[in-house]
Amino acid sequence: MVVGRQSAREAPISELVQRLRDRGWRLTAQRRVVAEVLAGEHIHLTADAVYSRAQRLLPEISLATVYNTLNELVGMGEVLEISTGDGPKRYDPNSTATHHHLYCVGCGELRDVNPEGTEGLALSVTQQHGFELLDVDIVFRGMCPRCRAAAARAAMI
């Protein structure tokens, strides 16, 4: 018996897995592992990171299955696809609460934030240029404390 390591079948049900069950989504072993990898606070993984973590739980999972599952989850509105403009897209399972993101341009850390003053944020009709607005996604960019400290140390050399 291996102590301290749960298999995908023994792991507690994550909020995302429960939402998917409630929707009647067919949870194959592969889909469940992808959903479980996305569980937790401030999770913003790339598809490759999801694949790497999923493979530890289910070695036979393929990268194509991970991409297909992520695309389905995004299409269902259960996972948000976040683009920071730098690097690959990230996947955020926090789709039930309105929030925005804080991105470190140094290391790529991505955090959920709830900034003041964004409630009711809207464009005037003339600023919409005929678009039908669906969503607002704000990404604040900056440098985290670790990257600022590293930059300060590098500047001293």
Lowest mean pLDDT among 27-31, 53-57, 135-139, 143-147: 135-139
Longest CA–CA separation in the chain, Å: 66
Q: At a CB cut-off of 8 Å and minimum separation 6, what does 76 contact?
A: 23, 25
Residues 93 and 117 in one domain: no
Residues 68 and 116 in one domain: no
Q: Please give the tally of structural domains in the chain.
A: 2
As a residue count, the chain comes to: 157
Tokens of 56: 């530890």
Residues 57 and 109 in one domain: no
Mean pLDDT of the chain: 87
Cα Rg of the chain (Å, integer): 19
> What pLDDT score was predicted for residue 86?
76
For 28-39, b/e burial (b = at least 16 CB within 10 A) is eebbbbbbbbbe
What is the model's pTM? 0.78
> What pLDDT score was predicted for residue 84?
84
Q: Which domain holds residue 127?
A: 100-157
What distance in Å separates the CA atoms of residue 12 and residue 87, rounded to the nearest whole number? Answer: 32
Lowest mean pLDDT among 44-48, 65-69, 73-77, 130-134: 130-134
Residues 66 and 104 in one domain: no
Using alpha carbons, list the distances in angstroms from residue 37 to 25, 43, 66, 82: 17, 9, 11, 17
Residues 22 and 89 in one domain: yes
Residues 134 and 77 in one domain: no
